[in-house]
């Protein structure tokens, strides 16, 4: 390392150029690197969406999903687990992979598996959609489309066929089908009665359309010198022309489609309604997919909008809502601002301590350079600029100050010994390179412990650790190169503290001198106290250890969260009405609920309310969705409060939790995370606690889950406890008397076909399309009895039983009875599962989930045989993260100890250093307890940080003390000397970090607990470093001497 | 700095300082303990509040209703064929070419009205021939009678034998009979000729005309009728009622009919007869209804939806189907007992009306039944009851502002 310093002095331009290069590349990386809220959580997930119109969930699960899941488990490698949801008409299989997976091979295998099972599945099923995404694929922007003159079907059409393809060109934007509106479709409203009177069946109509609406190229003909294209009127150009197609001719009478049906531009029965501020609308959700940054995606889409508007009808109102980039920008901005404030404050502090603007200049040039090089390194290793990496850099600022300051301090003190600048620098380098290197290694080891994290927390915190380590390494290298270079120029004749006592008129200088004076008093006071502690060393050590030990008594009161809650103006409310409620009624209910919410929250506080009612039209949406919507009776209500109402959000939620269930009995309400952070952490789940009851005995499991739910709902701090699976969808069971039917020449298949066309439409078994020649969009042609004609049990009984010329009706051959069926069938690892969802309210997640876990073990005796009960969700992720962080911390301490053993070639001195570490943790406990902050992963990161800084500081003191001891002083004096000598730099480092962390600690952001933890930990560990460590040192060495 | 700097601070133990230090220590300890105690107590209190709040949330609010009695009839609709009161096919009795037709389809005709006339040249020829035959026969008769008279007078003179005379008389008788026969033949042909004018058999509506001027008609079996005439003053409606409904259909029951061509219009029809036997081939009971047709709106051959309403005889308790809980143990309803706890009661459903069912057994009129019961309710759960009226949104208008 010394050669570097030598180069810095001999060939100074080298490092000036290096600094310039750092600025250039740092700024380029800063500009180019995508900005996002979180690092990419590259836990690969592939969703496979099966669609079969009208297939009930039980059949979807049994006839499609199980087959497929079994095929997947044998054909696809590296599966971590498979989850699936079977809904009415959709089967969504999500395949979670091991982190080591080759996702492209897996995708190929998944696609192959889909083809393998296709033949075994119900006839007419199409191959599934295969979507690849990851945990950070969450909605980041929504486009709300409304119009006062266009029909809902037209709006949907514009969204689906004009806007969606245009948006797909934005890198990283995944756009599922629009929500709400009506899907444009050519609808053949068939009249079973009329058809029966003509002796026709729906099948005849579909066949007629298929025969008359063709897509057949007829070729060309060469006449004379030209080759003519021959065009045939094989496909009607207007929808209404389909009405005039003949079905058949008997007795000179031609029956046209119009005679028994009505073909028109319409929509299938609506299953999904979106209301923006009370009026119907279409909502397009843009999901972030792939590695593009949130901001880039949103900016890309926003820049497309003006051009897009021109291609849309003028009366279409296009509005962007739920813009997460605001949140991301604000979060990133606040971290940057905190970092800047911290840098400014520490700069001032250094100026105050060093009393020399030249020294301060060196420090304040080296810090941004270190940060810029860290950013360049992060960008080069594929990281983005996000809250975690910026948080890491903000953390690092404090330590960076330390690095540069140590050099400056030391060079100054060398100069004070009347050395010329070059030898001063070289001597300084010789003296401090070893401790500085060891301290860098200590810090790195501490943060490397975070690389052991797996899962979501691993993806979140590895970049943070990386940022810190990069910044520290950069700063270390800079302090070896650029700092000496600059010191060479700047400190040549101005080194040292302003020791000339000539009175100055400059008030700042006088202030600084006053400070120096006070500081000297403080140091004297400190030394006196240290001396006393050394005198009463055993008692002191005992008292100190007692104090530290007792401090940990507060630990259980802290509570544990995964991540601290952030305030937001958004509330996402999910409600589920009685199973089987029709969409029209659910919409009415949503309207009433909206009113109630406005009554409670006051309309002037609300910026907008968006309702999303029912199951989206495409299974892809259901795959991306994370709100647990399973049927038309489900709805999401997104309430956005006016800016500045963040503080009221929590109170409002509590109030809504009180009032809404009372006002709407029979409706289940739950509050889902509205902010992008919790959505990412929940990983597609609508709640933080997910108790899964897995096993084949569904009936018993249902009862068991029900019992468990009752107990979980009573757990202190649990809110929104609910069971996700709905088993009681009202169902009409049509029991055909097959014998009676066969006596009159009707088969089950006749009845099934007739019912299908009447109730579900013909699209699944007889797909026919009509091409709109103007827009080039093909629309499905579907024969279906209009829903409003089928409105009673009597209407069902009247459905023709047969398509042949017969007057048999369903009611004559079948009995209709009531039963229930499932609205969703969920599997986990190819086993049926019941989810009990719950959230924590006003209590820490750790406490709540510990109580839930206790209920699970209490109820183990009642558990049905073969059933497993597992606590999943954020809780599980949190517990893993905590275990890993604690283990990492312990390992880090051991490694540090071993490292220092090598450095000092002693077993005892490293022990002295390590013995100061518990006090840092005690300080964190105090700080969190007093500031009412729960333990969280950021707070633990702070704890890790403190370990690093405390070690580094103690290391300096002990190094000094050992030198003194080696120079022949007795241990007590050596300890006293060390304390006295290191008081200034240690206090400076600690103060720099504490001041640096202040803005973060005082903010209400995600990283506030980190700041608080660092401040608390440093306050205590500094005391420990300055008093406890010297005392222990003296004890240890006195004993050795005595021996 | 050198060692002596620090050494200067070696403590010279002074009691005053130690005392002051102790005071400071004591104060600091008390402050810290106070802070800890405050923190712990505050957390305890918050937790206790939270426990109360959570427990209150764990009790679901429900809306209850009472079953009501009712005698709504059971409604069902069956397809029916509308036929005319009388329906006659008019065939030709004569062969010939249609000379003219007077009434077209849709015409209202009176009994006896001539609908068409048929040219019957063959018949005419036969009549002419017969008339000529008559002349000849008459001539022959005259001759025979004259001969007989002559022979009679000759006999009185016994100029001829009795035998010969009788022969002549007999011949005259035969010739007279021949005339009669020919006359009868003419009458028959003339009568046949009368059929050349096709007339309406009763008052009614011409529904079919299969002939045109010049078309040949023959009185063959199974040929197309010339006309069809229907009596539509009232219509007969035939319904093939599936076996399941057979027991509910009685003579005299009134049904309403709707027809595609008259949206919104209801026609009354009354059951006049049933076949009282289930057809083996279609498993249906043939039911005949009669519908008055004063304005002729009902057209024969039309397809009608016939809506029957079978009255219920006993009064049963009715429950909205939204209150039913269907599970492993059949159909139950969740009721609330006097101590506000959930009790499930098993019920037997008699008739399902779609949005309501009537109950055979298992309920009393004073039961408090939970409407829209949550799937997670179980026996013995405590619930809070709320009046159903409060569900209206205006109740929330008085809500307090958000904190």
- Yes or no: say if B85 and B202 are a contact pair by the CB < 8 Å rule: no
- Which of B55, B282, B402 has the CB atom closest to A652's CB atom? B402
pLDDT in tens, A495-520: 444 445 556 667 777 888 888 888 88
SS3 readout for A955-1010 = HHHHHHHHHHHHCCCCHHHHHHHHHHHHHHHHHHHHHHHHHHHHHHHHCCCCCHHH
Compute the average pLDDT of residues A1036-1041.
78
The reported pLDDT for the residue numbered A61 is 92
pLDDT in tens, B52-97: 888 888 888 888 888 888 767 777 888 888 888 888 888 888 888 8
Can you name the residues that pair with A693 across neighbouring β-strands?
A834, A869
Q: Is B162 on the interface with A (CB under 8 A)?
A: no
What average pLDDT does the structure give for chain A?
A: 85
Q: A1017 falls in which pLDDT band (50, 70, 90)?
A: very high
pLDDT in tens, B376-397: 888 888 888 876 544 444 433 3
Phi and psi for A282 in degrees, rounded to 5? Answer: -120, 135
Q: Is A607 on the interface with B (CB under 8 A)?
A: no
pTM (predicted TM-score)? 0.82
The reported pLDDT for the residue numbered A1043 is 61
Minimal CA–CA distance to A299: which of A270, A271, A277, A328?
A328
Q: In chain B, what residues touch A797 (CB-CB under 8 Å)?
A: 76-77
Q: Is A642 on the interface with B (CB under 8 A)?
A: no
Q: A723 falls in which pLDDT band (50, 70, 90)?
A: very high
The reported pLDDT for the residue numbered B403 is 33
Query: Residue B340 pLDDT more than 80?
Result: yes
Cβ neighbours for A794, distance < 8 A, ≥ 6 positions apart: A811, B75, B76, B77, B354
Any idea which of A20-29, A151-160, B101-110, B214-223 has the lowest mean pLDDT? Answer: B214-223
Distance CA A76, CA A79 (A): 7
Residue B335 parent element (H or E): strand B330-336
Q: Which residue has the higher pLDDT, A625 or A576?
A: A576
The reported pLDDT for the residue numbered A227 is 93
Q: Is the ipTM reported for this complex over the cut 0.85?
A: no
Q: Is B75 on the interface with A (CB under 8 A)?
A: yes
Map residue B278 onto helix, strand or coil: strand
The reported pLDDT for the residue numbered A589 is 92
Q: Is B398 on the interface with A (CB under 8 A)?
A: yes
Are A713 and B58 a contacting pair at CB < 8 A?
yes
pLDDT in tens, A370-397: 999 999 999 999 888 888 888 888 788 7
Query: Residue A196 pLDDT more than 80?
Result: no
**Closest residue in chain A to residue B57, using alpha carbons only:** A658
The reported pLDDT for the residue numbered B210 is 85
The reported pLDDT for the residue numbered A49 is 94
The reported pLDDT for the residue numbered A423 is 85
The reported pLDDT for the residue numbered B399 is 37
The reported pLDDT for the residue numbered A225 is 92
Distance CA A114, CA A118 (A): 6
Q: Which residue has the higher pLDDT, A146 or A675?
A: A146
What number of other Cβ atoms are within 10 A of residue A523's Cβ?
18
Query: Residue B208 pLDDT more than 60?
Result: yes
Q: Nearest CA of chain B to the CA of A964: how many Å?
A: 9
Query: Residue B1 pLDDT more than 70?
Result: no
Q: Which residue has the higher pLDDT, A626 or B202?
A: B202
Q: Is B11 on the interface with A (CB under 8 A)?
A: yes
Query: Residue A841 pLDDT more than 60?
Result: yes
Q: In chain A, what residues touch B20 (CB-CB under 8 Å)?
A: none
Q: In chain B, what residues touch A554 (CB-CB under 8 Å)?
A: 36, 39-40
What's the CA angle centered on A166, arms A165 and A169, to 5 degrees? 95
Compute the average pLDDT of residues A418-433.
84
Tally A–B CB contacts below 8 A. 234
Structure-derived torsion over alpha carbons of residues A681, A686, A692, A697, reported in degrees to the nearest 10: -150
- Which of A600, A722, A744 has the CB atom closest to B396's CB atom? A600
Are A710 and B378 a contacting pair at CB < 8 A?
yes
The reported pLDDT for the residue numbered A680 is 79
- Yes or no: say if A361 and A351 are a contact pair by the CB < 8 Å rule: no
Q: Nearest CA of chain A to the CA of B83: how many Å?
A: 14
Are B54 and A716 a contacting pair at CB < 8 A?
yes
Minimal CA–CA distance to A980: which of A644, A637, A519, A616?
A519
Are A807 and B282 a contacting pair at CB < 8 A?
yes
The reported pLDDT for the residue numbered B313 is 66
Q: In chain B, what residues touch A657 (CB-CB under 8 Å)?
A: 57
The reported pLDDT for the residue numbered B402 is 36
Minimal CA–CA distance to B224: which of B240, B213, B212, B209?
B209
Query: Residue A833 pLDDT more than 90?
Result: yes
Query: Residue A708 pLDDT more than 60?
Result: yes
Q: A359 falls in which pLDDT band (50, 70, 90)?
A: confident
Q: In chain B, what residues touch A808 (CB-CB under 8 Å)?
A: 242, 282
Compute the average pLDDT of residues A145-174.
86
Query: Residue A740 pLDDT more than 60?
Result: yes
**Closest residue in chain B to residue A588, using alpha carbons only:** B393
Query: Residue A869 pLDDT more than 90?
Result: yes
> b vs e for A477-498, b when ≥16 Cβ sit within 10 Å of the residue's Cβ?
bbbbbbbbbbbbebbeeebbbe
Residue B255 tokens, joined = 């049904």
Query: Residue B240 pLDDT more than 70?
Result: yes
What number of other Cβ atoms are within 10 A of residue A666's Cβ?
21
The reported pLDDT for the residue numbered A502 is 57
pLDDT in tens, A123-158: 888 899 998 887 777 788 888 888 888 888 888 888
The reported pLDDT for the residue numbered A575 is 93
- Yes or no: say if A784 and A188 are a contact pair by the CB < 8 Å rule: yes
Q: B13 falls in which pLDDT band (50, 70, 90)?
A: very low
**Closest residue in chain B to residue A648, using alpha carbons only:** B403
Q: A903 falls in which pLDDT band (50, 70, 90)?
A: confident
The reported pLDDT for the residue numbered B384 is 86
The reported pLDDT for the residue numbered A1042 is 64
pLDDT in tens, A602-612: 888 888 888 99
- Yes or no: say if A79 and A836 are a contact pair by the CB < 8 Å rule: no
Compute the average pLDDT of residues B200-213.
86
């Amino acid at each position: 390392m010394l050669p570097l310093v030598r180069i810095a002095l001999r060939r100074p331009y080298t490092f000036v150029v290096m600094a310039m290069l750092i600025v250039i590349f740092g700024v380029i990386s800063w500009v180019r690197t995508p900005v996002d809220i979180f690092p990419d959580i590259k836990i690969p997930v592939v969703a496979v969406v099966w669609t079969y119109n009208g297939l009930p969930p039980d059949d979807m699960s049994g006839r499609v999903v199980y087959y497929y899941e079994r095929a997947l488990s044998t054909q696809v490698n590296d599966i971590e687990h498979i989850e699936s949801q079977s809904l009415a008409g959709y089967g969504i299989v999500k395949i979670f992979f091991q982190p080591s997976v080759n996702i492209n091979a897996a995708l190929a295998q998944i696609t192959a598996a889909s083809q393998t099972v296709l033949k075994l599945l119900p006839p007419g099923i199409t191959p599934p959609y295969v979507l690849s995404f990851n945990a950070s694929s969450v909605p980041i922007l929504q486009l709300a489309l409304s119009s006062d003159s266009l029909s809902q079907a037209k709006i949907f059409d514009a969204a689906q066929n004009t806007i969606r393809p245009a948006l797909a060109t934005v890198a990283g934007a995944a756009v599922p089908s629009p929500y709400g509106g009506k899907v444009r479709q050519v609808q053949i409203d068939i009249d079973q009665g009329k058809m029966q009177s003509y002796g026709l069946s729906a099948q005849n109509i579909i066949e007629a359309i298929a025969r008359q609406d063709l897509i057949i190229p007829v070729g060309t003909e060469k006449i004379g010198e030209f080759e003519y294209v021959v065009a045939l009127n094989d496909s009607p150009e207007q929808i209404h022309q389909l009405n005039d197609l003949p079905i058949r001719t008997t007795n000179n009478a031609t029956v046209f489609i119009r005679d028994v049906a009505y073909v028109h531009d319409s929509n299938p029965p609506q299953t999904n309604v979106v209301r923006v501020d009370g009026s119907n609308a279409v909502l397009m959700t843009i999901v972030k997919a792939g590695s593009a940054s949130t901001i880039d995606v949103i900016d890309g889409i926003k820049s497309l909008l003006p051009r897009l508007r021109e291609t849309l009808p003028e009366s279409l109102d296009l509005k962007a809502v739920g813009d997460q980039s605001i949140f991301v920008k604000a979060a990133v901005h606040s971290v940057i601002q905190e970092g800047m404030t911290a840098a400014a404050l520490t700069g001032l502090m250094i100026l105050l301590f060093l009393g020399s603007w030249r020294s301060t200049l060196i420090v304040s040039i080296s810090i941004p350079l270190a940060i810029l090089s860290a950013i360049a390194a992060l960008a080069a290793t594929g990281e983005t600029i996000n809250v975690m990496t910026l948080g890491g850099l903000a953390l690092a600022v404090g330590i960076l100050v330390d690095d540069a300051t140590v050099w400056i301090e030391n060079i100054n003190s060398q100069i004070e010994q009347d050395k010329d600048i070059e030898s001063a620098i070289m001597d300084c380098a010789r003296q401090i390179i070893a401790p500085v290197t060891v301290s860098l290694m200590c810090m790195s080891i501490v943060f490397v412990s975070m690389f052991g994290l797996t899962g979501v927390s691993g993806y979140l915190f590895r970049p943070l650790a990386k940022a810190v380590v990069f910044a520290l390494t950069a700063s270390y290298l800079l302090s070896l190169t650029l700092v000496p270079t600059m010191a060479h120029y700047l400190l040549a004749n101005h080194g040292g503290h302003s020791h000339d006592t000539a009175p100055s008129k400059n008030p700042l200088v006088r202030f600084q001198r006053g400070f120096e004076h006070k500081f000297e008093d403080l140091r004297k006071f400190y030394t006196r106290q240290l001396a006393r502690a050394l005198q009463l060393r055993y008692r002191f050590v005992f008292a100190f250890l007692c104090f530290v030990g007792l401090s940990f008594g507060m630990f259980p009161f802290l509570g544990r969260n995964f991540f601290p809650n952030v305030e937001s103006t958004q509330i996402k409310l999910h409600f589920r009405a009685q199973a089987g409620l029709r969409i029209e009624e659910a919409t009415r209910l949503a309207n009433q609920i909206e009113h109630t919410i406005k009554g409670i929250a006051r309309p002037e506080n609300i910026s907008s309310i968006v309702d999303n009612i029912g199951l989206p039209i495409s299974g892809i949406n259901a795959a991306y969705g994370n709100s647990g919507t399973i049927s038309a009776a489900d709805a999401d209500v997104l309430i956005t409060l006016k800016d500045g109402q963040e503080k009221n959000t929590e109170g409002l939620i509590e109030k809504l939790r009180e009032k809404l269930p009372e006002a709407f009995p029979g409706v289940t309400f739950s509050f889902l995370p509205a902010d992008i952070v919790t959505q990412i952490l929940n990983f597609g789940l609508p709640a933080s606690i997910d108790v899964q009851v897995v096993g084949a005995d569904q009936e018993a499991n249902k009862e068991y889950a029900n019992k468990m739910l009752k107990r979980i709902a009573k757990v202190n701090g649990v809110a929104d406890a609910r069971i996700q699976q709905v088993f009681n969808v009202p169902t009409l069971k049509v029991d055909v008397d097959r014998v009676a039917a066969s006596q009159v020449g009707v088969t089950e298949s006749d009845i099934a076909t007739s019912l299908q066309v009447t109730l579900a439409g013909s699209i699944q078994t007889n797909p026919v399309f009509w091409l709109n020649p103007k827009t080039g969009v093909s629309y499905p042609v579907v024969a279906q009895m209009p829903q409003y004609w089928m409105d009673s049990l009597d209407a069902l009984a009247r459905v023709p039983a047969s398509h042949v010329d017969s007057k048999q009706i369903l009611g004559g051959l079948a009995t209709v009875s009531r039963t229930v069926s499932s609205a969703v069938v969920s599997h986990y690892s190819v086993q049926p599962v019941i989810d009990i969802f719950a959230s924590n309210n006003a209590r820490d997640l750790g406490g709540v989930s510990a109580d839930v876990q206790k209920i699970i073990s209490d109820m183990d005796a009642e558990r049905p045989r073969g059933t497993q009960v597992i606590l999943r969700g954020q809780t599980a992720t949190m517990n893993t993260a905590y275990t890993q962080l604690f283990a990492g911390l312990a390992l880090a301490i051991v490694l540090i100890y071993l490292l220092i053993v090598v450095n000092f070639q002693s077993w005892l001195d490293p022990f002295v250093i390590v013995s100061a570490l518990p006090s840092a943790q005690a300080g964190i406990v105090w700080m969190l307890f007093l500031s009412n902050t729960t333990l969280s992963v950021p707070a633990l990161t702070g704890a890790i940080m403190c370990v690093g800084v405390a070690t580094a500081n103690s290391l300096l003191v002990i190094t000094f003390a050992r030198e003194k001891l080696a120079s022949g002083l007795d241990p007590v004096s050596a300890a006293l000397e060390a304390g006295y000598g290191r008081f200034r730099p240690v206090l400076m480092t600690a103060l720099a970090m504490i001041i640096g962390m202040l803005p973060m600690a005082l903010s209400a952001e995600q990283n506030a607990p980190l700041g608080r933890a660092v401040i608390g930990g440093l306050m205590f560990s500094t005391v420990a470093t300055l008093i406890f460590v010297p005392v222990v040192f003296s004890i240890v060495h006195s004993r050795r001497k005595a021996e | 700095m050198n060692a002596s700097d620090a050494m200067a601070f070696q403590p010279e133990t002074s009691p005053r300082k130690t005392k002051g230090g102790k005071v400071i220590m004591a104060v600091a300890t008390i402050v810290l303990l106070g802070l800890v105690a405050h923190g712990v107590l505050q957390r305890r209190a918050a937790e206790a509040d939270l426990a109360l709040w959570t427990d209150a949330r764990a009790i679901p609010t429900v809306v209850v209703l009472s079953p009501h009695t009712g005698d709504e009839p059971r409604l069902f609709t069956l397809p029916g064929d509308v036929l005319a009161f009388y329906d006659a096919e008019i065939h030709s009795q004569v062969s010939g070419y249609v000379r003219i037709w007077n009434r077209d389809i849709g015409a209202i005709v009176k009994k006896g009205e001539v609908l068409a006339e048929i040219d019957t040249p063959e018949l005419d020829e036969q009549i002419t021939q017969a008339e000529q035959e008559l002349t000849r026969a008459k001539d022959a008769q005259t001759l025979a009678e004259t001969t007989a008279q002559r022979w009679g007078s000759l006999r009185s003179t016994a100029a001829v034998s009795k035998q010969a005379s009788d022969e002549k008389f007999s011949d005259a008788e035969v010739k007279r009979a021949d005339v009669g026969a020919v006359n009868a033949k003419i009458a028959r042909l003339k009568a046949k000729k009368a059929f050349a004018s096709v007339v309406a058999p009763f008052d009614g509506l011409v529904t079919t005309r299969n002939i045109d001027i010049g078309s040949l008609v023959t009185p063959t079996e199974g040929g197309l009728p010339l006309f069809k005439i229907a009596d539509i003053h009232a219509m007969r409606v035939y319904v093939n009622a599936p076996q399941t409904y057979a027991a509910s259909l009685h003579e005299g029951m009134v049904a309403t009919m709707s027809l595609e061509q008259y949206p919104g219009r209801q026609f009354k029809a009354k059951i006049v007869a049933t076949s009282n036997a289930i057809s083996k081939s279609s498993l249906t009971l043939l039911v005949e209804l009669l519908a008055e047709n004063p304005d002729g709106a009902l057209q024969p051959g039309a397809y009608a939806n016939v809506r029957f309403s079978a009255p219920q005889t006993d009064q049963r308790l009715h429950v909205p189907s939204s209150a039913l809980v269907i599970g492993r143990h059949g159909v139950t309803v969740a009721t609330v007992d006097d101590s506000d706890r959930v009790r499930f009661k098993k019920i037997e459903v008699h008739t399902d009306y779609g949005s309501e069912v009537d109950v055979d057994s298992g309920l009393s009129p004073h039961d408090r039944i939970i409407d829209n019961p949550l799937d997670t309710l179980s026996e013995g759960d405590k619930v809070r009851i709320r009046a159903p009226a409060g569900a209206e949104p205006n109740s929330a208008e008085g809500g307090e502002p958000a904190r």
